[in-house]
Structure 1
C-alpha cells in the first residue's frame, strides 16, 4: 500500500486467527495503518473477556450480530469476580448491546464484554495504537486453542505483556 493507494478488504477476506468456536479476522493491521488495528471478532456463547483496563489503548466496538453484555465505566467498587453487577458513581450499569450498538473505551476505562446467549455474536473491533492487539489476539487464541481449560496464568502473563490489567477472570466454556 502506498500513500496514494488505500486498502479494500472485501467481505470474507482478511487474515483469520482461530481457536475452537472463536475466531478473529484481521482486517487492517499496523502495516496498513498508523492509527488503529481493525478486526472482525466472533464471540462464542459463554465467552467472557473479563473486566480489564489499558493504560495506553483506546478501543471501539460495534456489534454486528447477536448480543453482548458490555461494561465501559469505572465502577464504585471493583469486585474481583462478577463485573456484571458493577455500577458507576453516576448510576451506569452493564448493558445488553444489540446490533448497531457502538462502545468507545478510552485509555484507563475499565471495560468488558461477554456473550450470555446460546448463539455466536460478531463485532467490529478497533484498537489504537497498533499492533499490540494484533499480537495479543494471535497469542490468546493459541492458548484458547489448546483444547484444555484456559491456562489462567498464561493469560495473565499475556495480558501483562500487552498493557492489559485484568480485573476479573476471562471465562471460556
Structure 2
C-alpha cells in the first residue's frame, strides 16, 4: 500500500540532488512512491544549460516553467516558454530545451510512467559536474531506458 510523502523545501527522494546535464535536480516523486505511475522532478537550469536533442519511447513528459524562460525545440520547431507556461510531450516527440537567459530558470518535470527517475539516477552517476557524459556511455544508457539521443544541446546559433 503506498503511503503519502511530504518533503520540505529543498528535499529530494535521492540521497543528494542529482546532476542532470549540469542542472541541479531534486526527485520529488519516484516510481516507488507512485506505484510506478509517475515521477516528478524539480530542476534548476543555469544559463546555457539544457539536454541534448532526444526522444523517449516509454514516457510522456510534462514541463512547467516555474521561473525564468526556456526555449523548447519540439520536432524542429522552437517555442519560448516563460514562467507559468507548460509543455506536454507524448512519447515520440523529438525535443530539447535551453536556457538562453542570464539567470537560472526553474522547472518541474512530470513523467508517466514513473520509472524515468531511475534513468536520472543512472545519468547522474556518469555525468561530470556541469557537463554531459561521454557520448558512448550516454548511448548505452539511452538503450537501457528507451531513449535515443539524436544531437547536441541547443547552442547560441539555435536561439530564436
Q: Bin the TM-score by the shorter chain.
A: 0.7 to 0.9
Q: CA deviation at 1:69?
A: 0.8
| Contact 1:18 1:145 (8 Å CA) reproduced | no
Alignment of 1:62-81 (within 5 A): 62-72=64-74, 74=75
d(CA) in 2 for partners of 1:70 and 1:136? 21
Q: What residue number does 1:127 align with? A: 111
Structure 1 stretches lacking a partner, 5+ long = 75-85, 87-92
Q: Does residue 94 of the first structure (1) align with residue 92 of the second (2)?
A: no
Larger Rg: 1
| Contact 2:142 2:149 (8 Å CA) reproduced | yes
d(CA) in 1 for partners of 2:69 and 2:132? 24
d(CA) in 2 for partners of 1:103 and 1:17? 24
TM-score (norm 2): 0.81
| CA-to-aligned-CA distance 1:110-135 (integer Å, 9 cap, x gap) | 1211112222211111111122x212
Q: CA deviation at 1:22?
A: 2.7
d(CA) in 1 for partners of 2:33 and 2:151? 33
Partner SS for 2:110 = strand
d(CA) in 1 for partners of 2:119 and 2:73? 21
Q: What residue number does 1:56 align with? A: 58
Aligned residues: 151
Tell me which of 128, 132, 135 is aligned to 1:152: 135
TM-score (norm 1): 0.76
Q: CA deviation at 1:144?
A: 2.2
Q: CA deviation at 1:147?
A: 7.2
| CA-to-aligned-CA distance 1:85-134 (integer Å, 9 cap, x gap) | x3xxxxxx311111111110001111211112222211111111122x21
Q: CA deviation at 1:12?
A: 2.0
Q: What residue number does 2:10 align with? A: 12
Which of the pair is proportionally richer in strand? 2
Answer with 55-64 or 18-27: which moved more. 18-27
Q: 1:65 to 1:160 in 2, by over 3 A?
A: same
